[in-house]
Amino acid sequence: MSGKWLRSLMLLLLCGGVAMLARGQGVLSVRRPDGRQARLAVYAPSGQACAPLAVLSPGSGDDRGGLTYLATALQRHGWRAVMLLHRERDPESLRDRLRNGRFRHDLFSLSTTPDDYRDRLDDVAAALAWARAQCRAPVAVLIGHAMGAVTAMLEAGAENRLGLQGRDRFDAYVALSPEGRGPIFPADAWHHLSKPLLLLTGTLDDAPNGSWRVRTQAFADLPAGCHWLGVIDHATHMNLAGFGYGNGAIEKIIVPTVEAFVDGIRAHRCEALPNQPGLRLTRQ
């Protein structure tokens, strides 16, 4: 990682993340099943009585800007997007880690602590309960990046080494920078998942335990169904979170891909995803 790229990223995180979050319609605190509070940033579309629901779970430390590009895009696309502002045991954001010189070490760090994911699943439950109290959305999708992608797979019912069992309360799932086999997921952890799934990674999206190809292992284990894998040329782990290099080229690939996938879910069909330069798509 070049010094110039790192300085650009620092400026983006220090100056842009909070501003991006501020475009949300509001930040709420709602009660979780365990009695604690979950924080939600709600991006509500205008003019819709009961919009379809997208719940977004950022990666560790990304809760002050990560995935905001998708939340705002889905809001414009007619979805109620609810961002989970997770309170991790390590409260440092990516900007904090840059300030403290820990960015290089922590970039690919991933919690394997069951309590962290239990907390996240409680946040998911709180978001669903809040949204359903507003109206019964026609469809609901869970979208996650990194730790959020693990959260999505756990909720979908993937077998795991953490002793956790998700409730599979969504109609479909999107995992950006998904985890493969390792300390969280054993081999064949995903072989029984039948609901629609979209997995996205990039050729520079290295996993904690190997190259980006590790992130395709979940897709290889899935049964036949409405399951898609997209590999984006030159996309990094940070690009998939929404921290780009200035022109948002990677986000411009991700957004229409996710929108096409969720449009199919809304229509109760498995739609073909759009072919785009720099994106390789495979259906399972």
- Looking at residue 99, its pLDDT comes to 57
More confident position, 244 or 168: 168
pTM passes above 0.85: yes
Statement: residue 97 has pLDDT above 60: no
Q: Give mean pLDDT, residues 30-54.
A: 93
Q: Do 74 and 43 touch, CB atoms closer than 8 A?
A: yes
Q: Do 242 and 70 touch, CB atoms closer than 8 A?
A: yes
User: Distances from the Cα of 216 to the Cαs of 91, 201, 274, in angstroms?
Assistant: 29, 8, 20
Which band of pLDDT confidence, cut at 50, 70 and 90, is reported for residue 64?
low
The DSSP 8-state label assigned to residue 275 in this structure reads: P
Statement: residue 232 has pLDDT above 90: yes
Q: What is the mean pLDDT of the chain?
A: 86
Which band of pLDDT confidence, cut at 50, 70 and 90, is reported for residue 26?
confident
The DSSP 8-state label assigned to residue 272 in this structure reads: P
Secondary structure (DSSP) of 232-262: EEEEEHHHHHT--SSS-TTHHHHHHHHHHHH
- Looking at residue 25, its pLDDT comes to 62
Q: Give mean pLDDT, residues 92-111.
A: 55
Which band of pLDDT confidence, cut at 50, 70 and 90, is reported for residue 138?
very high
Statement: residue 60 has pLDDT above 90: no
Q: Mean pLDDT lowest for which of 104-108, 138-142, 270-274?
A: 104-108
- Looking at residue 4, its pLDDT comes to 41
Statement: residue 104 has pLDDT above 90: no
139/281 Cα distance (integer angstroms) = 24
Question: Maximum CA pair distance of the chain?
Answer: 48
- Looking at residue 95, its pLDDT comes to 52
Which band of pLDDT confidence, cut at 50, 70 and 90, is reported for residue 96?
low
159/283 Cα distance (integer angstroms) = 22
Q: Mean pLDDT lowest for which of 65-74, 142-151, 210-219?
A: 65-74
The structure tokens 């986000």 sit at 251
Q: Is 248 left (phi over 0), alpha (psi -120 to 50) or beta?
A: left
Statement: residue 226 has pLDDT above 80: yes
Helical H runs in 145-195?
147-156
- Looking at residue 37, its pLDDT comes to 94
- Looking at residue 8, its pLDDT comes to 40
Kind of pairing between the strands at 80-84 and 140-145:
unpaired
C-alpha atoms less than 13 angstroms from C-alpha of 219 in its C-beta half-sphere: 25
Q: Give mean pLDDT, residues 255-275.
A: 96
Per-residue b or e along 199-229, where b marks 16 or more CB atoms closer than 10 Å to that residue's CB: bbbbbbbbbeeeebebbbbbbebbeeebbbb
- Looking at residue 278, its pLDDT comes to 97
Q: Mean pLDDT lowest for which of 94-98, 241-245, 261-265?
A: 94-98
- Looking at residue 48, its pLDDT comes to 79
The structure tokens 């879910």 sit at 265
Beta-sheet strands, E only, within 68-214: 80-84, 140-145, 172-176, 197-204
Q: Mean pLDDT lowest for which of 110-114, 188-192, 198-202?
A: 110-114
**What is the strand order of the sheet 227-236 is part of?**
26-31, 37-43, 80-84, 53-57, 140-145, 172-176, 197-204, 227-236, 279-283
- Looking at residue 47, its pLDDT comes to 82
- Looking at residue 63, its pLDDT comes to 47
Report the DSSP beta bridge partners of residue 53: 80, 140
